[in-house]
């Protein structure tokens, strides 16, 4: 097992304060190419990625995203494409769709971390306001932003954990005892 | 009393965007995120008006900009969070008094 992979997983943290340093197009392409390798239910690939670098568009997005604390130089918006759902008769309530968002999001954040960039996911925003600002096609449902940038020198501390947890607290081995 | 104009139209619209979108997303989020959104709005408003505010509010506003981000990251420590919010409430009351005629009379 590769230590590099495990170290990358363990050391990634959500970064909520980013510097002005830009992210290059090449770095963004590396991240997006990594996202393509995330597992996808039925290999259907229902996600479309929208990359936003334009400063004014980013400013407006942040204004309708109360959960976006970062001033990130690049945003990747993960959208579910309804056309893929219709094509494969998937109801929008199919849980695999949101699981796809999760596998892609984590892949993006680990890829960013792997090339020395900071990232932070944001789901606290108004979908309708984002739709209007980005002129999103009706078939796109905006599910999650990933802010990409560089960690600021003095960053706020992360969200304090509700309680200390280890993987053991989260894991149960084998069958539960009979009732 | 102080009748300074401290907020520009663009800034007011930005604040409205934050308040309205916060109201919407709060329907889908845990109840304890409500205070977080109000604090974020308070921090942004403090930052917007800081430069143009009078000496009666400036220290209070400056402290908000610095402390609120720290405070709302600690919401899982309920007692410390409540104590931090209580301290803010005392300071806002003191700021209100500095702006009121009650204080001028004393
Ligand atoms: C589905 C999901 C939504 C999230 N939404 C936000 C968000 O809107 N704003 C934010 O600052 N962090 C958001 N986060 C980040 C979490 O708060 C963060 O992962 C958690 O506090 C643990 O921190 P760590 O990833 O640095 O270990 C989100 C994470 C997930 C998985």
Domains of chain B by residue range: 9-105
| Distance (Å, whole) CA A162 – CA B26 | 20
**DSSP letter assigned to residue B93:** H
| Distance (Å, whole) CA A103 – CA B7 | 43
Cα(A121) to ligand 1 centroid in Å equals 6
Q: Nearest residue on chain B to A60, judged by CA atoms? A: B14
Listed by number, the residues of chain A in 105-144 with a beta carbon closer than 8 Å to a beta carbon of chain B are 124-126, 128-129
- Return the SS3 of B14: helix
Is the predicted pLDDT of residue A161 greater than 80, yes or no?
Answer: no
How many beta carbons lie within 10 A of that of residue A62, not counting itself? Answer: 22
Question: Please, which pLDDT band fits residue B83 given cuts at 50, 70 and 90?
Answer: very high
**Per-residue model confidence as pLDDT tens digits over A16-26:** 999 999 999 99
Where along chain A do its domains lie? 3-170
Question: Please, which pLDDT band fits residue A32 given cuts at 50, 70 and 90?
Answer: very high
Query: Which residues are within 8 A (CB) of A102 and not within 5 positions of it... i.e. 6 or more apart?
Result: none
How many beta carbons lie within 10 A of that of residue A149, not counting itself? Answer: 24
The CATH number of A3-170 is: 3.40.109.10
Cα(A14) to ligand 1 centroid in Å equals 7
pLDDT score recorded for residue A156: 62
pLDDT score recorded for residue A28: 98
Q: Nearest residue on chain B to A126, judged by CA atoms? A: B21
pLDDT score recorded for residue B72: 80
pLDDT score recorded for residue B105: 57
Q: Is the distance from the beta carbon of residue A102 to the nearest atom of ligand 1 less than 6 Å? A: no
Is the predicted pLDDT of residue B106 greater than 80, yes or no?
Answer: no
> What is the average pLDDT score of chain A?
95
Do residues A152 and A19 make contact, with C-beta atoms less than 8 angstroms apart? yes
| Distance (Å, whole) CA A169 – CA B91 | 41
Cα(A120) to ligand 1 centroid in Å equals 7
Question: Please, which pLDDT band fits residue B75 given cuts at 50, 70 and 90?
Answer: confident
Minimum distance, in Å, between the CA of residue B35 and any CA atom of chain A: 12
Counted across chains A and B, CB pairs separated by less than 8 A come out at 45
pLDDT score recorded for residue A157: 60
Give the H or E element holding residue B96. Answer: helix B78-99
| Distance (Å, whole) CA A22 – CA A13 | 20
Q: Is the distance from the beta carbon of residue A13 to the nearest atom of ligand 1 less than 6 Å? A: yes
| Distance (Å, whole) CA B56 – CA B39 | 21
| Location of structure tokens 């094509």 | A87
**Per-residue model confidence as pLDDT tens digits over A107-134:** 999 999 999 999 999 999 999 999 999 9
Q: Is the distance from the beta carbon of residue A122 to the nearest atom of ligand 1 less than 6 Å? A: yes
Query: Which residues are within 8 A (CB) of A93 and not within 5 positions of it... i.e. 6 or more apart?
Result: none
Write the ipTM: 0.85
Minimum distance, in Å, between the CA of residue A175 and any CA atom of chain B: 32
Does residue B17 sit at the A interface (CB-CB below 8 Å)? Answer: yes
Q: What residues of chain B lie within 8 A of the CB of A154, using their CB?
A: none
Cα(A122) to ligand 1 centroid in Å equals 7
Listed by number, the residues of chain A in 52-71 with a beta carbon closer than 8 Å to a beta carbon of chain B are 63-67, 69
| Distance (Å, whole) CA A133 – CA A115 | 30
Extract the runs of DSSP E, i.e. beta strands, from A42-134: 47-52, 74-81, 118-122
Integer CA distances (angstroms), B30 to A6, A101, B34, B36, in order: 31, 21, 8, 11
Q: Percentage of chain A surpassing pLDDT 90?
A: 91
Tokens of A112: 């960013």
**Range scoring the smallest mean pLDDT among A27-41, A70-84, A148-162:** A148-162
pLDDT score recorded for residue B84: 92
Q: Which of A11, A13, A14 to mutate to test the pocket of ligand 1 (most atoms within 8 A of CB)?
A: A14
Minimum distance, in Å, between the CA of residue A129 and any CA atom of chain B: 8
Do residues B61 and B46 make contact, with C-beta atoms less than 8 angstroms apart? yes
| Location of structure tokens 């709302």 | B72
Report the candidate in A7, A17, A10 with the shortest Cα–Cα distance to residue A158: A17
Q: Percentage of chain A surpassing pLDDT 70?
A: 97
| Distance (Å, whole) CA A48 – CA A78 | 6
8 Å CB contact of A63 and B37: no
pLDDT score recorded for residue A162: 77
């Amino acid at each position: 097992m590769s230590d590099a992979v495990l170290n990358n997983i363990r050391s990634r943290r959500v970064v909520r304060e980013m510097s002005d340093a830009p992210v290059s197009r090449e770095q963004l392409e590396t991240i997006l190419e990594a996202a393509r390798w995330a597992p996808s239910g039925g290999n259907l690939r229902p996600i479309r990625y929208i990359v936003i670098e334009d400063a004014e568009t980013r400013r407006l997005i942040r204004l309708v995203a109360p959960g976006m604390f970062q001033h990130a130089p690049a945003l990747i918006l993960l959208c579910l494409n309804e056309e893929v759902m219709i094509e494969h008769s998937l109801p929008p309530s199919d849980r695999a769709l949101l699981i796809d968002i999760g596998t892609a999001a984590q892949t993006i954040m680990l890829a960013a971390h792997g090339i020395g960039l900071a990232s932070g996911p944001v789901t606290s925003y108004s979908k309708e306001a984002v739709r209007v600002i980005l002129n999103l096609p009706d078939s796109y449902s905006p599910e999650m932003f990933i802010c990409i940038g560089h960690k600021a020198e003095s960053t706020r501390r992360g969200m304090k954990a509700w309680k200390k947890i280890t993987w053991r607290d989260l894991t149960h081995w084998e069958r539960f005892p009979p009732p | 009393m102080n009748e300074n104009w401290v907020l520009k139209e663009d800034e007011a619209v930005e604040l409205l965007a934050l308040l309205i979108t916060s109201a919407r997303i709060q329907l889908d989020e845990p109840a304890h995120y409500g205070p977080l959104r109000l604090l974020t709005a308070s921090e942004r408003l403090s930052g917007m008006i800081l430069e143009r505010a009078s000496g009666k509010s400036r220290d209070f506003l400056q402290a908000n900009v610095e402390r609120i981000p720290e405070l709302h990251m600690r919401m899982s420590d309920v007692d410390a969070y409540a104590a931090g919010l209580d301290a803010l409430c005392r300071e806002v009351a003191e700021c209100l008094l500095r702006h009121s005629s009650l204080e001028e009379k004393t």
